[in-house]
Amino acid sequence: MIVPMLKYTFFVFHKEYHCFLEKLQEIGVLHIKQKNVEIPGEFKRKYARISQYEKVIQFLEKRKVRETNSGNKLSATEIVDDVLQKQKELEELETAIEATSKKYSKAKPWGNFSHRLMDKLNEAGISLTFYSASIKYFRKLQDTREQVEMVSDPKSQVLFVHIQFPGENKELDADRMELPENPYPIFEKELLKMEKKKERILSAFDTYANNALLKLKAGQSKLINELNFEEAIHNTRKEADDQLMILEGWLPKTKDLNLNHYLEKHPILFIKNKPTPQDNIPVLLKNNRFSRLFEPIGALFSLPDYAELDLTVFFAPFFMLFFGFCLGDAGYGLLFLIGGAIYKPYAGKKLIPYLSLIQLLGVATIIFGIISGTLFGINLIETEIPITKNFRTLFLNPDKMFSLSLILGGIQIIFGLFIKAANRSIQYGFNYALATCGWLILILGTIIYVLLSAAGIIAKSNTILYTILCFGGIFILFFSDPGLTVFARIGKGVWDVYSTLTGIFGDLLSYIRLFALGLSSAILGFVINDIGLQILGSSQILGPVFFVVFLLVGHTLNILISSLGSFVHPMRLTFVEFYKSAGFKGGGVEYKPFKK
């Protein structure tokens, strides 16, 4: 649910304003209303500086050293500048090392030659020409008594020198080569020098990671607090020749007492109002323990608008079920459940909710794995396992799983229409929800009539069906938009009929992806097991070893690939099909209190 907000407007004398803001920041509950003015350049520079702090802190935290956070005399700003400078130097150094290494590799086969010596030989009329050729061609040259000498050890290609004396000018049928600019010992010396410089830079990083992280975090926090304070002043309206400071903000009703205690003790003039539809009200979500785990998923798309319902509590059970449907292997779900439980004692506080979410998704995967009869890629429906003999008839075959995906899709779409009716009623009034109610009457009435008549509970009657269609159609055509004229409503209603019918049909077909992903995951698991069994029978000694290794690697990859699809596609069904059915508007502004 969305926490109700109250609008506060404060009127403070300019000499007392800084003290008031400091106390307000200490209480840390007011979301300051942003003025629609350009952000000053100084703020942008501070934002960039805070980002630099964050990058340096994250970089140093990755270095595996023991943190003591003491003994560094440099300021936090100096440390950040030095780390950024050294990162730049390291990047340039690594580029230079890579280039020099290539030069070293090319020069190494030519040995420790001397350009000066070759210049002297040229002056004496002795010419040296370097070639690359096959070992067979080189042996042929030796047999013909050509003056050739091998430079490199023979491998696929031989590097050799052809020596010619004054008066000789013969060209060999081989690839002519140019000597490197320097012999390899010079490049080797340069590499050694650069590696030592790199070690000094890395050692400096380790030193900072060892004793400067606490100082950097404190410096970053101080900078953030200063920026927040300056932004609060920037968003203050000044009146009465800058003598009166006016600040507007939002406060959750659940945190109202925190600020009221301070206001009761200090003579601060303020006005407290309820929000109006024209206000850009920040959104703070408050859900139960189950739904709260799914809030990060909803935030990937958008926060709800303050005036509408928070859909987290409504899409959370569906998302959980859809994930289990897509992965659909009881063995994989068991790994999620056990793995999350094992890692929780060692995880940080921020990571624990995500592990709980993984465990819930694991439970859903176990449920659908049991329903479809799949365990680590083993098809329990067709496999003759004695323990499943009495339950084999309870498993759903692929045809029934296909039908189940459409049924779940239909339930979510209809459920979304109920939410849309409630949303429009809350936001605009009950009249604006009547068209959606008409669709619910039409869809549910038709489904109930078909089911009851098929079961023989009621007789088939066109009168009943036409009554349902007419009753629902009246609401759809005449209440599509109560703000329009009658004829405009009918025109909009006709268009609504066309777009909704085609939309619902297309949306319903989208849920087939649940069945397709679940089937593909099961088939991949089955293929992995089948190949593993072939490996097992290939050798009595190595077969079992390779069998176990292949199963571990194969099922791990299948879990990773299938889990990705099982997360993305239910999210797509939520954000497209369900949100559209529920009339989700979104675009809410996150509640960010002014605090230290």
Indicate if the pLDDT at residue 20 is higher than 90.
no
Indicate if the pLDDT at residue 389 is higher than 70.
no
Mean confidence (pLDDT) of the chain: 84
Burial 85-119 (b: 16+ CB within 10 A, else e): ebeeebeebeeebeebeebbeebbbbeebeeeeee
Indicate if the pLDDT at residue 460 is higher than 70.
yes
What is the structure's pLDDT at 386? 67
- Predicted TM-score (pTM) of this structure: 0.73
What is the structure's pLDDT at 174? 84
Report which residue type is found at 446.
T
For the ranges 90-99, 262-271, 468-477, 513-522, the maximum mean pLDDT occurs at 90-99
Which residues in 122-229 belong to E strands, given as ranges? 127-133, 148-150, 158-164, 175-177
| Number of CB atoms found within 10 A of residue 213's CB | 21
Query: Which of 100-104, 168-172, 384-388, 440-444 is predicted with the least confidence, judged by mean pLDDT?
Result: 384-388
What is the structure's pLDDT at 85? 92
Residue 255 is classified by DSSP as: G
Q: Give the Å distances, CA to CA, from 245 to 38, 64, 232, 259, 281.
A: 20, 50, 11, 18, 22
What is the structure's pLDDT at 25? 84
Helix axes 398-428, 312-327, angle to 10 degrees: 170
What is the structure's pLDDT at 65? 65
Handedness of CA 252, 258, 260, 266 (dihedral sign): negative
What is the structure's pLDDT at 321? 93
What is the structure's pLDDT at 495? 78
Contact 152, 113 (CB under 8 A): no
What is the structure's pLDDT at 364? 93
Share of the chain above pLDDT 90, in %: 13
At residue 422 the predicted structure's pLDDT band, cuts being 50, 70 and 90, is confident
What is the structure's pLDDT at 155? 67
Indicate if the pLDDT at residue 69 is higher than 60.
no
More confident residue, 154 or 455: 455
Give the C-alpha separation, 533 to 550, whole Å: 10
Give the C-alpha separation, 341 to 334, whole Å: 11
What is the structure's pLDDT at 316? 92
At residue 429 the predicted structure's pLDDT band, cuts being 50, 70 and 90, is confident
Give the C-alpha separation, 541 to 546, whole Å: 10
What is the structure's pLDDT at 70? 59
At residue 322 the predicted structure's pLDDT band, cuts being 50, 70 and 90, is very high
Indicate if the pLDDT at residue 474 is higher than 60.
yes
Taking residues 252-271, what's their average pLDDT? 80
Taking residues 191-215, what's their average pLDDT? 89
Which residues in 237-368 belong to E strands, given as ranges? 237-239, 244-252, 269-273, 282-283
At residue 196 the predicted structure's pLDDT band, cuts being 50, 70 and 90, is very high
Share of the chain above pLDDT 70, in %: 95
What is the structure's pLDDT at 214? 86
Q: 23-41, pLDDT tens digit by residue? A: 888 888 888 888 766 777 7
What is the structure's pLDDT at 97? 92
Indicate if the pLDDT at residue 326 is higher than 80.
yes
What is the structure's pLDDT at 525? 87
